[in-house]
Amino acid sequence: MDLEPLYGLRLRTPRLELRWPTPEELAALGRLARAGIHDPDRLPFLVPWTDPSETFVEDFTAYHEGLRRDWRPEAWNLECAVLARGELIGIQGMEATRFAETRTVTTGSWLGRAFQGRGLGTEMRSAVLSLAFSGLGAVRAHTAAMDHNVASQRVSAKFGYLRSGERWPVVRGQPVRELTYTLSRERFSSLEDPVPVEIDGLDGCRACFGADSAGGAGEPRGQGDG
């Protein structure tokens, strides 16, 4: 299908803009990730995709290009570039399968190490949760974090996520404990001090998300939303 309208989608918070990255921006994000996004001894991801590799940037770009080739309204993965004052600082993702039926999304993200610890992760997640709940009409959002990833857990706590379980995936040949969380639309709507979020360009790409029949609200409610 035609994904060109996705380039017009913009999510804005007080300090950030999220948008679909161009090929040039994807390569720049790959270089940012290669420079380091976590302690090498404390992997926060299921796949060790940031481990050293001579073809890291090429592999990073190929992965994201594959997500775009495989995009269907029934199964999509939106990986937004995150910019602060025009500078690329990381990626905020959101994916769904059969969204029109399940009205459920899953989020994940990363930040360059130089940009961590500033509260930007909260604004990033606010942006995609506003897109999910207010823009597309989602009813729940899932996220997960390794048990040692305290920063991610704190962001989830700010939005009122509830623990939904745990799992033990194998990473680098060892089982690791991953905690899972769920946030309902009702709990999101009850936030007392939301991060303001503006959404532009959604109407032109709503069909890409399979949301034209999912009861999307269309207009953001101007508050934050992992």
The per-residue pLDDT for 219 is 36
- Spans of the chain, pLDDT less than 50: 213-226
In three-state secondary structure terms, 81 is strand
Distance CA 174, CA 40 (A): 15
Q: Which two tokens stand for residue 31?
A: 């270089």
The per-residue pLDDT for 148 is 78
Among the residues of the chain, which ranges form H helices? 23-35, 56-69, 99-102, 120-130, 150-159, 185-189
Residue from 95, 111, 128 nearest 12 by CA: 128
Distance CA 99, CA 97 (A): 5
Distance CA 30, CA 76 (A): 21
Domains and CATH numbers, the chain: 4-209 (3.40.630.30)
> Model confidence over 18-35: pLDDT tens digits?
999 999 999 999 999 888
* Phi, psi (degrees; rounded to nearest 5) at 222: 75, 30
Distance separating the N- and C-terminal Cα atoms of the chain: 27
Check: CB of residue 81 under 8 Å from CB of residue 20.
yes
The per-residue pLDDT for 18 is 98
The per-residue pLDDT for 40 is 65
> Model confidence over 36-49: pLDDT tens digits?
776 666 665 656 66
Place of tokens 């509260």: 119
* Phi, psi (degrees; rounded to nearest 5) at 83: -125, 140
pTM of the predicted model as reported, rounded to 2 decimal places: 0.87
